[in-house]
Amino acid sequence: MDKELNFFEEYVHSFDMTNRKIEHKYHHTLRVVEYAKEIAKSLNLDEKEYNRACVCALFHDLGRFPQVRDYDTFIDKESIDHGDKSYEVLIENNYNDDIVLKAVKYHNKKVVPKFDELTDMHCKLVRDADKLDILVYFNNPIDEEILIPEGVLKYFKNHELVDNSFAETKTLHSLRELSFVFDINYKKSMEIIVEKDLINTKLNLIRTEKTKNDVEFIEKEVKNYIKERFDIIC
């Protein structure tokens, strides 16, 4: 993976590393690679597929850097689809591992096409690793009125990812991140989530007297799903 790492470092450092958003995504990527390693080890992948999993993680957010440079935002619906842009960057640089290309392109999509078994695995693995770092990293107290948008609870009832059709608020971001559990694919990923107590941490960010009943409903749906899907109690 030395060649890929050199390309990544050269590419990222062609942007303004004093920009906090650029620096953040650089370090996010390195953490996602570490989570990908943990998941890959749990799956007992051979050396080739282990390295490929690391490369998928390393390249997954290449599109974030031009997104920040050109639009100064991480909000795709206000700029570009960063998964598509990451794919384009690789194509422009003559990268041709089709499995990596697909995993990178679809790492941020709500719905992923059905691929062959190996491609599916790498798509799922990088999606898990990406979500793990987001769940761990964004847990600051919410400095706004905490309101659960009408219509959000149905996503938790149906065990679906909360989509981005709602107004962007810090409360909504926490709710969307909580719903990540419905798109976690590997037991090791969920074990990390539970070991770090991330579910309760997220719930406590949005738990107020006004939201108590809704949060209790969300908590029940999330924890029951984790128990039924992964046989893990949290």
Residue 142 in contact with residue 210, Cβ under 8 Å? no
Cα–Cα–Cα angle for 207, 191, 8, nearest 5°? 100
Residue 187 in contact with residue 232, Cβ under 8 Å? yes
Q: pLDDT digits over 100-123, tens only?
A: 999 999 999 999 999 999 999 999
Average pLDDT of span 8-21 = 98
pLDDT of residue 150: 87
Average pLDDT of span 26-54 = 98
Per-residue pLDDT at 232 exceeds 90 = yes
Q: pLDDT digits over 155-184, tens only?
A: 999 999 998 778 788 999 999 999 999 999
Higher pLDDT, 160 or 1: 160
Average pLDDT of span 22-46 = 98
Q: Residue 202 to residues 4, 13, 70, 135: CA-CA distances in angstroms?
A: 35, 33, 32, 8
Q: Where are the domains of the chain?
A: 1-131, 138-234
> 1-131: which CATH architecture?
Orthogonal Bundle (1.10)
